[in-house]
Amino acid sequence: MPLSNPQKIKLLKLYELLKLHSDEENPLSTNQLCAMLKAEGIPCDRRTLSVDIDVLNAGGFEVLKRRTRYANLYYVVDRQFDIAEIKILIDAIQAASFITPSKTKALIDKVANLAGSHKAAVLKGNLVTFNTRKHANEAIYYTVDTLERALQSKQKASFLYFDLDENGRRIFRKNSERYIVNPVGLVYHEDNYYLVTYHEVHEATVNYRVDRMANVRAEDEPVAGQAIALSGELAGYTERIFKMFNGPEATIELQFDRKLIDAVHDKFGEGVEIVACKRNLCKAKVDVLVSPVFFGWCFQFGKSMKILSPDSVAAEMKAHAQQVARMYHE
């Protein structure tokens, strides 16, 4: 569709073309820029193009010039992100399992183009392959958007919640009745998005996987006051929570082999104080939500990890171990 007044947007389009198609290694000549503008339906005279670029520079849009024997070449190096930063973002998109394959490609195209078309081609040609199983739920982006709007407006949210059967079919909980919740915040953990909510009856937090939601909507009803109060403590909550399973919160003293120091730091953060003990054994106190998943994490290290206190949690760990042992003797 031809532009009604192309000269009014000429400067904007000129800078857009320079940002997208030029860099210090790939400057553009006046002939190239004029050809690009004409392809966009904008008349261009190479004799006045330098004046347009001077106007851009005067307005704070830095366009650099390189003089050669035959022509003046122009390029833009002012990028919002440098190549290393864009590479990190692309790798994060590639590795995130909740991003579907089609959305992964679309997001990588957008992020890579922040570096300009030439470097974007190089970045997309050097993608790291991650052993990640991508989700198929394309609606997750609309779900996140709806939940964010509910959080911003401090409204309750509602949704259907489902599990998958052995054939990958959705089995909706509560006979397909809607869950109506007080949203506290969205948390990304272990390759999945979770909605942290506040349950007024039980006076506790409940977490829901976002990719297991369907037909999400923001309700007109305002959230409970406690949900708003908890939203300010969300960072601390996610530090204490263990793999998004609910359970009583407790400070646990662990004893473990020195070789597991990295594993403890990876799970609980580098701020955990670890005390070296005798015979290559170390101790640390960590805050967790006690659950079967926490015990499973300890189990994977066998005799190299032991719960020292509190006694009630150590006894619960022992009971779980005995249940597993009995199962293999039946």
CATH assignment at residue 56: 1.10.10.10
Domain shared by 145 and 223, yes or no: yes
Residue position matching structure tokens 């290559």: 280
Amino acid in position 212: R
pLDDT along the chain (330 residues), means of 10: 62 84 85 89 84 84 84 78 76 77 83 71 62 67 89 94 81 94 86 86 87 93 88 70 64 92 82 81 89 88 93 92 84
DSSP assignment of 97-160 equals TTS-HHHHHHHHHHHHGGG-HHHHHHHHHTPPP--------TTHHHHHHHHHHHHHHTEEEEEE
Instruction: Annotate 126-158 with b (16+ C-beta within 10 A) or e (fewer).
Output: eeeeeeeebbebeebeebbebbeebbeeebbbb
Beta strand 305-309 with 249-257 is antiparallel
The reply to whether 130 falls in a domain is no
- Residue pair 158/213 in contact by the 8 Å Cβ criterion: no
Question: What digits encode the pLDDT tens for the residues 268-321?
Answer: 877 788 887 778 899 999 888 888 888 989 999 999 999 999 999 999 999 988
Question: Could you give the number of structural domains in the chain?
Answer: 4
**Which two tokens mark 45?**
């005279």
Phi first, then psi: what are they for 270, rounded to 5°?
-75, -5
Q: What is the C-alpha to C-alpha distance for residues 219 and 170, in angstroms, rounded to an integer?
A: 24
The reply to whether 180 falls in a domain is yes
Predicted model pTM = 0.57
The reply to whether 242 falls in a domain is no
Burial of 328 (0-12, 13-18, 19+ CB in 10 A): exposed
The residues near 11 (Cβ < 8 Å, ≥ 6 apart) are 52, 55, 56
* Segments forming the whole domain that contains residue 55: 6-75
